[in-house]
């Protein structure tokens, strides 16, 4: 959420803009939209932005909520709730860093709220992890967050998936395009991704930064205990994303400068090629062993391979083709925090699992695999019906 989009209409003027300090120099800000400006802030719903490069574009965030497939912001306010959309100065910063901003946002909402209606707090993608940790830590520290409902919208509780071949390409192009590798190696990326490589040729692993984050999350209780825990997934409950394993997802055009280059969708097994540079990229290569066919998992999708396609064709027009632009980014089992390790069986039918497999009080998955964080009528109305009365 919150990625800059040049072709979206401007967000309406907020009723208030909060400048929120954070640790060091980086903080955040929030747009506040009252259900009724005459009454001010009475029933706050705080929704946090997630992971992407740079600062939050709150105009883009609003439009994701309002002008996608469902006018969620309008319907939320029509039902008497105030909308607070929270963004950060650096969305690649550590989850723990931005949690300090979320903490102060919650405190400000409590301070400015008129009456005693409880808060709803949550977020999209990484924003669900930021607010999960924030609420759990406040409880652990003996603070009253006055939150009745926690909302997680396609958040990777058990990790997100970025194709290893795509990570390898970013590192291979570090000298030509440093921001790509820097984003892959950012603190937030290291904490979010289920498997990560810091350099071309590394063995994919859980990054130490992710390990430390999970340990810190466990230290504060893992989940907040007071609010009702809700989670929504843009992925379907079963099936696959339609990306076959071991196929060329992006490849060079025959006879062109990048002839021989390819990014492959992840295949199970050992010694699988996921990045082949070809002569145009010094015949560099990345292989993997023991990873699941994650690109094809049912889950919220992201145009991961399309990013490489666009970047390469921008540098060398017409150099590559992209048969499979999207992959699974947040498998449904991760978004719904199923068990302890849904990566062992990404094809599992979520809809028939025992309720005890979930850490949540209630959950909803999409009828079909959709773009990561897409606000739909199906998911939006389900959420609205479960907010505190």
pLDDT in tens, 217-242: 999 999 999 999 999 999 999 999 99
Mean pLDDT of 71-87: 98
Q: Is the pLDDT of residue 4 over 80?
A: no
Mean pLDDT of 267-288: 97
* Per-residue model confidence (pLDDT) at position 7: 66
Q: Is the pLDDT of residue 3 over 60?
A: no
The Cα 106–Cα 150 span in angstroms is: 12
pLDDT in tens, 329-350: 999 999 999 987 889 889 999 9
Cα 309 to Cα 16, 82, 86, 313, 324, distances in angstroms: 40, 40, 31, 6, 10
Q: What is the pTM of this model?
A: 0.96
* Per-residue model confidence (pLDDT) at position 100: 96
* Per-residue model confidence (pLDDT) at position 90: 96
pLDDT in tens, 7-33: 677 899 999 999 999 877 889 999 999
pLDDT over 90, % of the chain = 89
pLDDT over 70, % of the chain = 98
């Amino acid at each position: 959420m919150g990625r800059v989009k040049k072709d979206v209409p401007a967000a309406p003027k907020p009723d208030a803009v909060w400048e929120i300090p954070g640790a060091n120099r980086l903080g955040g800000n929030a747009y506040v939209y009252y259900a009724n400006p005459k009454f001010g802030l009475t029933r706050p719903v705080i929704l946090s932005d997630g992971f992407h490069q740079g600062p939050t574009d709150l105009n883009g965030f609003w439009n994701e909520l309002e002008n996608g497939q469902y006018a969620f912001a309008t319907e939320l306010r029509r039902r008497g709730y105030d909308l607070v959309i929270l963004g950060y100065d650096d969305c690649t910063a550590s989850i723990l860093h931005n949690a300090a901003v979320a903490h102060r946002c919650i405190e400000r909402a409590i301070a400015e709220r008129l009456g005693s209606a409880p808060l709803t707090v949550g977020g999209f993608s990484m924003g669900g992890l930021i607010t999960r940790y924030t609420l759990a830590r406040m409880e652990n520290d003996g603070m009253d967050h006055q939150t009745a409902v926690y909302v997680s919208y396609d958040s990777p509780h058990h990790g997100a998936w970025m194709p290893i071949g795509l990570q390898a390409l970013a590192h291979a192009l570090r000298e030509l395009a440093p921001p790509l590798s820097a984003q892959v190696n950012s603190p937030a990326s290291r904490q979010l991704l289920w498997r990560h490589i810091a350099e071309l040729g590394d063995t994919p692993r859980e990054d130490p930064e992710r390990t430390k984050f999970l340990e810190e999350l466990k230290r504060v209780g893992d989940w907040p205990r007071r609010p009702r825990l809700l989670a929504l997934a843009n992925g379907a409950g079963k099936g696959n994303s339609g990306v076959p394993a071991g196929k060329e997802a992006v490849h060079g055009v025959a006879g062109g400068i990048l002839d021989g280059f390819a990014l492959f969708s992840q295949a199970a097994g050992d010694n699988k090629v996921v990045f082949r540079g070809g002569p145009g990229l010094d015949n560099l290569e990345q292989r993997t062993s023991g990873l699941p066919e994650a690109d094809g998992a049912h889950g919220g999708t992201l145009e991961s391979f399309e990013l490489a396609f666009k970047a390469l064709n921008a540098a060398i027009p017409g150099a590559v083709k992209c048969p499979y632009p999207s992959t699974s980014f947040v498998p449904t089992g991760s978004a719904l925090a199923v068990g302890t390790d849904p990566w062992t069986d990404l094809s599992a039918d979520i809809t028939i699992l025992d309720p005890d497999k979930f850490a949540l009080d209630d959950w909803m998955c999409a009828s079909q695999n959709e773009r990561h964080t897409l606000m739909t009528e199906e998911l939006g109305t389900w959420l609205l019906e479960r907010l505190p009365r």
